[in-house]
Structures are given as structure tokens and as C-alpha cells.
Structure 1
């Protein structure tokens, strides 16, 4: 009973995301980011046009991954009962670790809150939204 992982992954203005859905989305985004970073770094030493094109394509992909991470984190904060603006605490060096642990382990508010309905009221978990 969870929100589908890829549902509203780019919607940073509305919605809620529970712990399970947040953890799965965070894992998928982290693996994608690490894999693409490793690929980019392995091709840096090669001098070719393909490498230059791939590195140019990495900029929009990196921006997209950051937007997705901001969206799921703000949805998770809304599930806990805080505004997405609390995500700005991630800019403070050691506070970011505390906020990240808080996002993973803090229980969400039961039932509907001011940010939307409870995401745990889904019928079944889906990895890819239907």
C-alpha cells in the first residue's frame, strides 16, 4: 500500500509521498545518477566527438535528476506535515544529513493533511505507475 514510485516524480508543487515510495524513488535516482557519473568519468579521458556529445547531454540529464530529487523530497516533507520549503535546510552542510535521515525514518501524518490525501491508502504498490 504505497504511492507508485514514478507517479508525480516531477511534480514538486503538490502531493505526498510515504517512506517506502520515497526510499524506492531515492534508490532509483541514486543508481541512475551514479551510473551516469561513472560512464561520464570513464569517457573523459577519450578524445572523440562522441565523448563531447555525451558530456553535453549529461548537463540536462543531471538537471533532470536534481529536479526529480527535489520533487520527491518535497513530497516526502509534505507527507510528514512540513512545507517543501524546509528542503532549503539541505543547503546547510551538516543539517543536510539530519534532514535526509529525518526524511527516511519520520512517519507520515495519518489521514489527509493540508497537503493532500494519505499516500498509504493505495490498493497495492506499483513500481511503474499505471
Structure 2
């Protein structure tokens, strides 16, 4: 009694977690066809993609398709079982389009999948080529491993220096440095107050020194921030304009810096852990202040209504 023959059908059902584009690309590679040519196989209607094969061959096709993200079905091929024509397996030996599997060395009809061991021929050959020439591995097939591109001369980063107006300062570091600057002003203001307690003759010079130092350092930090955005440092003068100055300062906090180098130098170094921590402390304080302001406004309005 002849062996039962089977056919493989698919309706476009996908394996769990597989996207349609991924499955279509894989099937196109298996069949060595364009994606456009196999899209009709995902229409939802059962389509026969392979006939006249044995149970073992059908199982290998099912496995290969599932590995490609496609759920296929093995069904009895009643037409082939009733036919008096030679089956595919019987024609393999005399077929002019035959091949030898590079892994198991079985002679068979030309196919993207070995009917004996079930490997994907193109994928196996690609892996063998990469193993033989690892230093020369290229993406000549869809199965080749992606090669990392490493820049020979990565772009340098700028130096950090609180003094002077040269260089750039990222927005996160700008906020962190501003916090440190304001904290440093607290003891300076206390010293000025103590000096005034002693004598106005002593207090006035101390207060002038503290004020000038605060202005100079504040300008230097702000100019570096403007440079990072790609703007001229002279725009710091906008901050003295009422209302407009406040909006401009907000932009200095929010706008990202230039990608890569600009006319003011290389990008600043990566943010340190301390900078990141100070930045998020500032974010939390601003958020809390905003919420408290809203609550205070609502309470004030409620009290005024009585």
C-alpha cells in the first residue's frame, strides 16, 4: 500500500507575538521571492503551498514555517493519493533541478528547505561562510549578522569650566549648577548680613563683592547654556526685560542643546550622577510648588467667597 501523501496549507495565521511584516519577510526569504508576491498567502483564505509530500517532509515544512512565525496546516492530499502520476519524491531522482543539502548531503529536488534535515539552505550557507571568514563577514544575505559600525574618530566632548564664557553647558547641568550656585549664595548672604551688623563700613564692601561675584558667575553659566543651544551669549541681555526676560529664561531651561558640535565648541560631557540627582530634585520641587500654588489659590478663592 503506498504511503499517504500530504499537502501544506496556510491562511496567514501567525505564531504568538509575531507581526505580519516579520512573517511576510521570513516567508519571502524561504521562498526566495519578493514580499509582494507572497502577500496573498496572508489573505485569511486557506492556500496550498506544498503538495505530494510525505508525513516526515510535511512535518519539516510545518516546523520551518512556524520558526518563520507562520502557523501552517498538514492535510491529507487526497488528489495526490488517487493520482497515477509520479509523486514529487519519485521525481526527485530524475529531476534536472536537483541539489545536495550542504548539511546532510542528501540529493533532492531544489528547494529553500532541505526535505531531509529541515534546514533553511540560505541561512545555513550564510552561517558557514561567516564561520570560515569571521573578519570578512558581510551582510550579503538576510541571515548575515549585522556588523557594528565604529567611528574611527569619535567626536570629542568639551571641557567643563565654571569660569569664563567659553564652551557649552547642557540644560540638565545648567539647572544643577544653578542649584549649587544658589545654595552657595546662602552663606555669602549670611556673611554680608553679619558684616552689616558689625558696621556699614564693613558691610557695604562685602555686599558689593558678593553681589558682583553672583552676577559674574550667573552670566558665565547662562552664556554657556546659550552656547549649547547655538545662540549668542549677548542674548543674555534679554533677561533684564520684564516678562519677556522670564519667558526667555524658561526657554533656557527647556530647550535642548545642539546635536554634535556647533560654532561654540564640542558638546558637553555626559551628565554625572550628582547632576542627574540635583536635576530631579529641582523637578520635584517645581512640581510640588506648582501643586501647592494651585491649592493655595483655590483655598484663597474659597475663603474670599465667605
Scaled by the length of structure 2, what TM-score is found? Answer: 0.35
CA contact (8 A) 1:16 1:115 kept: yes
State whether structure 2 residue 245 is matched by structure 1 residue 92. no
State whether structure 2 residue 173 is matched by structure 1 residue 21. yes
State whether structure 2 residue 163 is matched by structure 1 residue 10. yes
Give deviations 1:47-97, integer Å, cap 9, x for gaps.
x35x75354223212211211110010100010010001111011011111
Higher strand share: 2
| Range with bigger deviation, 62-71 or 29-38 | 29-38
Scaled by the length of structure 1, what TM-score is found? Answer: 0.75
Q: Which runs of 5+ in 1 are unaligned?
A: none
Tell me how far apart the structure 1 counterparts of residues 273 and 205 of structure 2 sit (CA, whole Å). Answer: 33
Tell me how far apart the structure 1 counterparts of residues 215 and 270 of structure 2 sit (CA, whole Å). Answer: 29
CA contact (8 A) 1:3 1:21 kept: no
Tell me how far apart the structure 2 counterparts of residues 30 and 86 of structure 1 sit (CA, whole Å). Answer: 22
Deviation at 1:42, TM superposition (A): 6.4
Q: Which runs of 5+ in 2 are unaligned?
A: 1-156, 275-306
Tell me how far apart the structure 2 counterparts of residues 107 and 22 of structure 1 sit (CA, whole Å). Answer: 11
CA contact (8 A) 1:15 1:78 kept: yes
Q: Tell me which of the two structures has the higher relative contact order, counting C-alpha pairs closer than 8 angstroms and 6 or more residues apart.
A: 1
Match of 2:202 among 53, 72, 78: 53
Higher helix share: 1
Pairs aligned (count): 118
The structure that has the greater radius of gyration is: 2
